[in-house]
Structure 1
Amino acid sequence: MPQLSPLNWIFLFLLFWAAVLSVSILIWWSTKTYFLGKTSNVSDVKENKWNW
C-alpha cells in the first residue's frame, strides 16, 4: 500500500464516516416511511383536509 499524506488520511477518515452516516440515515428513512405507510391505512377513515 502506498504511503498517504496526513491530509489524505483525514479525507479518508471523513469519507468513511460520511458513508456510515449516509447509510444509517437511509436505513432510518426507509424504515420510517415504511412504518408511516403501514399506519396510513388506519388514518384513511378520517377525512384528509390536506391536498397532499
Structure 2
Amino acid sequence: MPQLAPLNWILLFSLFWVCLFVVMSINWWFSLTHYSGLDESEVEESSKGNSWLW
C-alpha cells in the first residue's frame, strides 16, 4: 500500500464516515412511513364543504 501523507489519511477517514452517514440517512429517509389522517377522497370532500370565508 502506498504511503500517504497524514492529511490524506484524515481526509480518507472523514470521507468514509461522511459516505456512511449519507447512506444511512438516505436509508432512514426512504424507510419512513408517511401517515395521512385523511384519504384523498375525504380531503376533496372536506375542501368542497368549507364554510370559512377566508
Equivalent pairs, count = 44
Higher-Rg member (1/2): 2
Give how far 1:26 is off. Answer: 0.5
Q: Percent identity?
A: 43
Query: 2:7 is paired with a residue of what secondary structure?
Result: helix
Measured on the aligned residues, the alpha-carbon RMSD in Å equals 2.0
Structure 2 length-normalised TM:
0.67
Which amino acid is the alignment partner of residue 28 of structure 2?
W
Q: Which residue of 1 aligns with 2:38?
A: 43
Runs of 5+ in structure 2 lacking a partner?
48-54
Structure having the larger proportion of residues in helix: 1
* TM-score using structure 1 length: 0.69
